[in-house]
Amino acid sequence: MLQRNGRKNLMPLRHVILVMLLSLAGCGGGGGSSPAATGVIIVTVAGTPQTVIGPALVTMSGSATSSTGTITGYQWQQTAGASVTLSNPGSATTSFTAPAVTTETQFTFRLTVTDSAGNTGAGAIGITDQYLHYYVAIGDSITAGYGDDYALDNTSQDGRNTGGGFGPVLNDLLTAKTGAPYTIANEGCEGATSYDGLNGNTTIPCDSLATVIGRHSGAQRYLVLYGMNDARPWLPVPSGQGLNPSDPGYPGTFKDNMQKIINALHNAGVDVALAKINVALADCAGSGGSTCTPYSYPQSDGVRNVLIQQNNAVIDELKNITANNITVTPPDLWNWSWTQGFYQTEYYDYIHPNGNGYRAVANLWSAALAP
């Protein structure tokens, strides 16, 4: 596959939220949007509860007015949610760090204001700390998004993912389907084999899996799609189909490399989802300077496709190994591209999807991840 530079991976955004409780006040501790009839501290809580994705710094600021004296004291206290530490809780402005959470978490805080006459008023604010579904896509140029010729969906609606390919579209699909925030970091390497994805390759270039894991320490799941370059007819990587680790010929196979990728990801405490490879219409991509003759009938006379189907059989074997604990049914790019015939309208060249094709790949991933 071809190499293309300039793709960026977008880490989850870290928010700094300013929550204003404007004209906080009341008499005797009541909060509301209108002044008390005989009160001396007018209380109004402005705005709606804020939403953040932790870890995030949240700054809350209050103000108050008194009709009988001057404001002499502010006191913030937490009234609900997992305990956090407030900075300067005795001042008008305080802050705390909303933690990374595994489920949506609510925090509420109360600001009590005192004046020189001893009257008090109070206002409250709520903070919603959302769980971010943080996925990393690893693979070759199909993961990287080579051939995506539709720019209008290159950035997810929340702005977290950019650069095209299936990642930004998948973010939008999963967010719309589940109502939860997602990010899909793109670590695709154009030209990568499964061995390159595991060990790295400075020529492509492609970082090792260990480096990628270190770069995405908060990720929960990896979306893995290798195999097209392992099936190059001029330099094929043996599939290892039907072999076990103790069998002769197993070391160095596609199956061996993929199992090592799975093991490394599990050792890092993350979930793994695998995908099957799409059909090739020729030995090479036929774009970016490469030239080759297209297959007359890809499934029967396509040398690369014989190897691809062996690698897809390996994906099924890996999915069915109980110890691998792979719960997601692999998206079947072969079925989409060949069996359903979408290679005729949704391919950029002999190998890569076009813009519509990448939207189709995103839909396949979405259906598998959130059925």
Q: Domain end: 98, 130, 162, which one?
A: 130
Q: Say if residue 146 is in the same domain as residue 126.
A: no
Q: Does residue 341 belong to any structural domain of this protein?
A: yes
Is residue 8 assigned to a domain?
no
Q: Is the pLDDT of residue 45 over 80?
A: no
Beta partners for residue 128, in sequence order? 51, 106
Q: Does 1 reside within a domain?
A: no
Examine the domain organization and report whether 107 and 169 are in the same domain.
no
Which pLDDT score is estimated for 282?
96
Q: DSSP assignment of 40-68, as one string? A: SEE----S--EEEESSEEEEEEE--EESS
126 and 137 belong to one structural domain: no
Do 332 and 212 fall within a single domain?
Answer: yes
Give the residue among 174, 167, 176, 205 at the shortest CA–CA distance from 358.
Answer: 167
Whether residue 43 is found in the same domain as residue 163: no
Question: Is 191 part of a structural domain of the chain?
Answer: yes
Supply φ then ψ for residue 102, to 5 degrees: -100, -15
Give yes or no for a cis peptide into 55 (omega within 30° of 0): yes
The answer to whether position 21 is within a domain reads: yes
Residue with more model confidence, 300 or 41:
300
**Spatial separation of the C-alpha atoms in residues 75 and 169, rounded to whole Å:** 45
How far apart (Å, rounded) are the C-alpha atoms in residues 371 and 367? 5
The verdict on residue 352 lying in a domain is yes
Residue 361 contacts residue 168 (beta carbons within 8 Å): no
Which of 113, 130, 147 is the C-terminal boundary of a domain? 130
Cα angle: 171, vertex 172, 173; to 5 degrees: 95
Are 139 and 192 contacting, i.e. CB atoms less than 8 angstroms apart? yes
Q: Is residue 267 part of a domain?
A: yes
Is 95 in the same domain as 65? yes
**Model pLDDT for residues 259-274, shown as the tens digit of each residue:** 999 999 999 999 999 9
Same domain assignment for residues 284 and 322: yes
The pLDDT value given to residue 43: 52
Give the mean pLDDT of 270-293: 94
d(CA 306, CA 238): 12
- The predicted pLDDT at position 28 comes to 38
User: Over the stretch 48-73, which tens digit does the pLDDT of each residue have?
Assistant: 458 888 888 998 888 888 888 888 99
- Answer yes or no: is pLDDT of 30 > 50: no
Owning domain of residue 245: 133-369
% residues pLDDT > 70 (the chain): 87
**Ranges of H-type helices in the chain:** 141-144, 167-178, 194-199, 209-215, 254-267, 298-301, 303-319, 333-334, 355-369
pLDDT at 20 over 60: no
Q: In this structure, what CATH number is given to the domain that contains residue 172?
A: 3.40.50.1110
Q: Are residues 140 and 34 in the same domain?
A: no
Shared domain check, 353 and 210: yes
The per-residue pLDDT for 41 is 65
293 lies in some domain: yes
Separation CA 55–CA 42 (nearest Å): 34
State whether 110 and 157 are in the same domain: no
Q: How many domains does the chain have?
A: 2
Read off the pLDDT band of 297 (50, 70, 90). confident
Q: Does residue 212 share a domain with residue 69?
A: no
Model pLDDT, residue 51: 86
Task: Clarify whether residues 197 and 234 are in a common domain.
Answer: yes
Q: Give the CATH number for residue 97.
A: 2.60.40.10
Given 130, 153, 169, which residue is the final one in a domain? 130
Q: pLDDT for 80-100, tens place per residue?
A: 999 999 999 999 888 999 998
Place of tokens 């769980």: 131
